[in-house]
Structure 1
Amino acid sequence: MVREQDRSRPLKPAHVFDRQAEWDGLAAFVARPTPHAMLGVVSGRRRMGKTYLLRALAEARGGFYFGATAATAGESLRQFGAALARHVESPAPFSFATWDDAISYLFSLAAPARRGEPLPVVIDEFPYLVKAAPELPSIVQREMDRFQSEESRMRLLLCGSAMSVMGGLLASTAPLRGRAQLELVLKPFGFRGAAEFWGVTGQPELAARLNAVLGGTPAYRRQFLADDVPESLADFDDWLCRTVMSPLSPLFREARYLLAEETEIRDAALYHSVLAAVADGNATRGGIANYIGRKSVDISHPLNVLEDSHLLVREQDVFRAGKSQYRIAEPLINFYEAVMRPAWPLLESGQAAEVWSRSGERFAAQVLGPHFEALCREFLRGPGRSLLAGGLGQVGSGVVVDPVARRQIEIDVAATEPGSGAGPASVLLLGEAKWGTQMGLPHLDRLRRARDLLEARGLNTTQCTLACFSAAGFSEGLRGEAGRGGVLLVGLAELYG
């Protein structure tokens, strides 16, 4: 039997691609029958489709949507009053003296007299309002607290793209800490979803190359490129030159804009240098500092800001406590730093084809290779989970030190599980990933050596699978080893299912 609460949830519109889990969470939030005000915070980098999703939700439930712009406090207040007047079908815009008055009136719309139905209210790009009127979070907090003891059907969703600002709304001593019943971060489509969105599901190599440049950002296909999609792998080079690398394309400067839009970033040159260091393969704090000519302590703030902005990801070494590496989270920024920024004057003069013809090696080493490794880890966290014996704990990468050979064995894809009770931690999978190299028995021998070293350290490797991930195929010898069991071979066809 379907509960009343379930029937009250709006169905996801057909025009909203994917996002079923996010829609279900938002729909459940706005449909909750609790007689008190509820607060949700929705964030995510720009171009993720937050506005598209929240507009659809507000329209489905007859809610109020307001999209803020960069403006003064007075102008923002007038825009808010005009939008509220349109929502309640007032013949004239409202003129609020203060934000205190405006938010008080907003909450009055969710009074019990409104047929007892929850009222979804979306305030989009909330950081713009906070910048102009820093008192807003405190005003919202006061109203939320008031309507915990008084009846209200308010379902307020605060949304924004400035990740550092949105992350701070509920942190530490912030006024809204402890008031939210929903915290949703809208992320890019996964690599399989992105392939479907771009219509290239039957072309795994094209899908992987496309994902390495643009990732799973929804806005890039329709809003930026007006559905200009590469028809085939043979069209990829021309497509790249006429879109991402063309000064006539909206995507040409997008990587710069993504950085400039973060409110906490002041010295753009320093942040670009940090990102360029990571794109060049300097993944540790010390390596980044050496690349840009600074001391490690001097780059702590830029690294923290880039992490808070979800532009950099710090990934812990699964085998060495306290060790970590940085990775650029936004593929377009990585492509820009690795390929476009070093040749920017030539690209601005329209020489994309010439630049691209000399960028093949750099693209493979600094873009495709690292991105393929990340795709393999994403595969193992999702559709590849069934390939593992036992459960699934941490998926990541790491380094195994070989003291005899005096070398380090880099493990691109690893799955480990913490021990239970007095039992040791388990290694479920050790994998190596290569984009442009056919993998053979030497790759398998390295993985076997790493497994032996981890076993000697006391880890449980009895269920450890050795995995080779390659976009270029596998040797006959390696295929023979896989046929005897214990070795997993994963190519692009398996990755994309």
Structure 2
Amino acid sequence: MVRHTARSLPRPPDMFDREWEWSELTAFATSEGTGPRLGVVSGRRRQGKSFLLQALADATDGFYYAAVEASATESLHLLGEAVARFTGAAVPPRPANWDQALELLFELAADRPLPVVIDEFPYLVRNAPALPSQLQAALGVRSERHRKERPRILLCGSAMSFMGGLLSGASPLYGRAGLDLVVHSLGFREAAEFWGIRDPRLAVLVHAIVGGTPAYRREFVDDDVPDGPDDFDAWVCRTVLNPARPIHGEAPYLLAAEPDLRNRSLYHSVLAAVASGNRTSGGIASAVGRRATDISLPLSVLRNCGLLTAEPDAFRANRTTYHVAEPLITFHHAVVRPETASLSRRRGAARMWEHSRPTFLSKVVGPHFERLCREWVEWHADPATFGGMPIQVASGTVADPVNRTSLEADVVVHGAIGQDQGILLSVGEAKWHKVMHLGHLQRLRRMLGLLEARGVDTTHARPACYSGAGFDPELRAAEERGEVVLVDLHRLYHGS
């Protein structure tokens, strides 16, 4: 196997986190292999993709072009001007079509490996649908002829449905990419550090609104960070509930920016239904007044756009729950959208927030805390915590035939012990606002008993309680006896 060497470039001092993404990009961009290479960078809006790629171009003296919404003719004209600025040519080239434009881009890398970044690539394809096929042909011709040009072409975009299909089996570029990098939101611990929030309770509340999207701190609230827990309510009123701040209108824009969404009113209603606590397709359909078959397409499209996630039930193979992927959208649909009229009045934010705060805590923070607990197990928990390596973490539902009800587990952990895979390691419950007690542990034991009666191996399963309000002394004593795993806010943010 031939290995192509690549240079390790120092991360820019103003770049927070993103060590792995930077390493992958620089390795791709500086690989000494012959011929052209193709990479794709995607991710939801505001995650810092353009910042990463501009920094890469600066560090490697590479070419960066950000497409805009324009006609095909104007796009070619703008690309020619960008090439002229990069090369220092007195007269900008005037490519008549995309075949000529690709020729220009490939020639930029005649002497060395050179990153050629095309940001907002979906804008170009919208008016030039054949562009992926033309790019595929150009890559094929140059690879076969062993041409000296070594462009490291990076296509970037935020339209997740389009970018997700760019390398699929039906795409001309299938099998061509040497890099397929998705830039995700910051994890909840990294987000707290990025916002400079040390109080874990405040960190959860802020994350339940803005998530781990980097742009929301600087560009969208102008570095306005809550000055401690007592300032949180006022911060909400002066930022996300303030029509004068960009973050106030961001959630609807995230939906409007997706080109594959046609009936936007229906998609807004679906997101609102999920944000209000309807997690199953039947519940969502009922909330929007449609049949379950009528919303299968909207659910699929929203998933492809990265706005919804579908999570299988840990214990029921035929049950899937849906969750809004972007916290700001959840906050908008659960809290802001129903109170739009109130916010239009002067000084309406404070009064509206006083009325809506209980909804925020129950509909937004409670479910969000459950998801953070699952994320903690996946990324931060020591394997010794559950006696094995966590592999799958989900929520789950267990039928209780005696009481004719169902018990819900917020954090179900399956993992590996030695060579054995898929072992049930833990069943847990998460409560944001309640001090947990022995009654919660007894409920988890009841759940494990029901699972055992169904033939599930519960030998290694450890009950776990996750709380934003703490645990009573009896439950702490049970922890000391090794009967339960307890995770409070301090452990969530600082422990394993």
Query: Alpha-carbon deviation of 1:212?
Result: 0.2
The match for 1:306 among 302, 305, 316 is 302
> What is the aligned partner in structure 1 of residue 395 from structure 2?
397
> What is the aligned partner in structure 2 of residue 11 from structure 1?
10
Instruction: Report Cα offsets for 1:228-256 as digits up to 9, x if no partner.
Output: 11111111111110110011110111101
Query: Alpha-carbon deviation of 1:420?
Result: 9.8
Q: 8 Å contact 1:68–1:129 — kept in the other structure?
A: yes
Query: Alpha-carbon deviation of 1:139?
Result: 1.0
Matched, 1:345 2:341: yes
> What is the aligned partner in structure 2 of residue 45 from structure 1?
44
Any unmatched runs of 5+ in structure 2? none
> What is the aligned partner in structure 1 of residue 195 from structure 2?
198
SS in 2 for 1:313: strand
Q: Which amino acid aligns with 1:417?
A: G
1:408-423 to 2 correspondence within 5 Å? 408-417=406-415
Query: Alpha-carbon deviation of 1:425?
Result: 4.4
SS in 2 for 1:54: helix
SS in 2 for 1:227: coil
Query: Alpha-carbon deviation of 1:36?
Result: 2.2
> What is the aligned partner in structure 1 of residue 120 from structure 2?
125
1:465-476 to 2 correspondence within 5 Å? 465-476=462-473
SS in 2 for 1:360: helix
Query: Alpha-carbon deviation of 1:132?
Result: 1.4
Query: Alpha-carbon deviation of 1:109?
Result: 2.0
> What is the aligned partner in structure 2 of residue 289 from structure 1?
285
Please give the alpha-carbon distance, in whole angstroms, between the structure 2 residues aligned to 1:36 and 1:399: 53
SS in 1 for 2:389: coil
Q: 8 Å contact 2:133–2:172 — kept in the other structure?
A: yes
Q: 8 Å contact 2:225–2:235 — kept in the other structure?
A: yes
> What is the aligned partner in structure 2 of residue 208 from structure 1?
204
1:319-468 to 2 correspondence within 5 Å? 319-350=315-346, 351-386=348-383, 387-417=385-415, 425-468=422-465
Q: Which amino acid aligns with 1:36?
A: G
Please give the alpha-carbon distance, in whole angstroms, between the structure 2 residues aligned to 1:417 and 1:391: 5
Please give the alpha-carbon distance, in whole angstroms, between the structure 1 residues aligned to 2:337 and 2:275: 11
SS in 1 for 2:40: strand
Q: 8 Å contact 1:425–1:460 — kept in the other structure?
A: no
Q: Which amino acid aligns with 1:159?
A: C
The match for 1:226 among 222, 227, 232 is 222
Query: Alpha-carbon deviation of 1:460?
Result: 2.2
Please give the alpha-carbon distance, in whole angstroms, between the structure 2 residues aligned to 1:136 and 1:144: 12
Please give the alpha-carbon distance, in whole angstroms, between the structure 1 residues aligned to 2:318 and 2:10: 45
Any unmatched runs of 5+ in structure 1? none
Instruction: Report Cα offsets for 1:15-71 as digits up to 9, x if no partner.
Output: 111000111111111122211211111001110000001000111001100000111
Q: 8 Å contact 2:388–2:417 — kept in the other structure?
A: no
Q: 8 Å contact 2:5–2:33 — kept in the other structure?
A: no
Q: Which amino acid aligns with 1:416?
A: H
Q: 8 Å contact 2:4–2:33 — kept in the other structure?
A: no
Please give the alpha-carbon distance, in whole angstroms, between the structure 2 residues aligned to 1:110 and 1:82: 17
More divergent stretch after superposition (169-178 vs 59-68): 169-178
Please give the alpha-carbon distance, in whole angstroms, between the structure 2 residues aligned to 1:391 and 1:84: 51
Q: Aligned pair in 2 of structure 1 residues 4, 179: CA closer, same or farther (>3 Å)? A: closer
C-alpha RMSD over aligned residues:
1.6
Matched, 1:177 2:174: yes
Instruction: Report Cα offsets for 1:279-334 as digits up to 9, x if no partner.
Output: 11110000000001001111111111110111100011011112110000100000
Please give the alpha-carbon distance, in whole angstroms, between the structure 2 residues aligned to 1:419 and 1:60: 44
Please give the alpha-carbon distance, in whole angstroms, between the structure 2 residues aligned to 1:343 and 1:12: 44
Q: Which amino acid aligns with 2:205?
A: R
Matched, 1:148 2:143: yes
> What is the aligned partner in structure 1 of residue 252 from structure 2?
256
Q: Any runs of at least 4 consecutive aligned residues in structure 1 with deviations exceeding 4 A, and if so which?
A: 418-421
More divergent stretch after superposition (335-344 vs 379-388): 379-388
Q: 8 Å contact 1:424–1:459 — kept in the other structure?
A: no
Please give the alpha-carbon distance, in whole angstroms, between the structure 2 residues aligned to 1:233 and 1:254: 24
Please give the alpha-carbon distance, in whole angstroms, between the structure 1 residues aligned to 2:394 and 2:354: 34
Please give the alpha-carbon distance, in whole angstroms, between the structure 2 residues aligned to 1:270 and 1:363: 23
Q: Which amino acid aligns with 1:11?
A: P
Please give the alpha-carbon distance, in whole angstroms, between the structure 2 residues aligned to 1:412 and 1:368: 14
SS in 2 for 1:224: coil
Q: Which amino acid aligns with 1:54?
A: L
1:13-32 to 2 correspondence within 5 Å? 13-32=12-31
Please give the alpha-carbon distance, in whole angstroms, between the structure 2 residues aligned to 1:390 and 1:468: 18
> What is the aligned partner in structure 2 of residue 245 from structure 1?
241
Please give the alpha-carbon distance, in whole angstroms, between the structure 1 residues aligned to 2:452 and 2:113: 57
TM-score normalised by L of structure 2: 0.96
Query: Alpha-carbon deviation of 1:10?
Result: 1.4
Please give the alpha-carbon distance, in whole angstroms, between the structure 2 residues aligned to 1:380 and 1:266: 38
Q: 8 Å contact 1:426–1:459 — kept in the other structure?
A: no
Matched, 1:138 2:138: no
Query: Alpha-carbon deviation of 1:486?
Result: 3.0
Please give the alpha-carbon distance, in whole angstroms, between the structure 2 residues aligned to 1:136 and 1:222: 35
The match for 1:483 among 453, 458, 480 is 480
How many correspondences in the alignment?
488
SS in 2 for 1:320: coil
Please give the alpha-carbon distance, in whole angstroms, between the structure 1 residues aligned to 2:21 and 2:417: 33
Please give the alpha-carbon distance, in whole angstroms, between the structure 1 residues aligned to 2:333 and 2:359: 11
Query: Alpha-carbon deviation of 1:153?
Result: 1.3
Query: Alpha-carbon deviation of 1:419?
Result: 9.7
SS in 2 for 1:248: coil
Q: Aligned pair in 2 of structure 1 residues 411, 214: CA closer, same or farther (>3 Å)? A: same
Please give the alpha-carbon distance, in whole angstroms, between the structure 2 residues aligned to 1:14 and 1:456: 57
Q: Which amino acid aligns with 2:277?
A: G
Please give the alpha-carbon distance, in whole angstroms, between the structure 1 residues aligned to 2:184 and 2:446: 37
Query: Alpha-carbon deviation of 1:189?
Result: 0.3
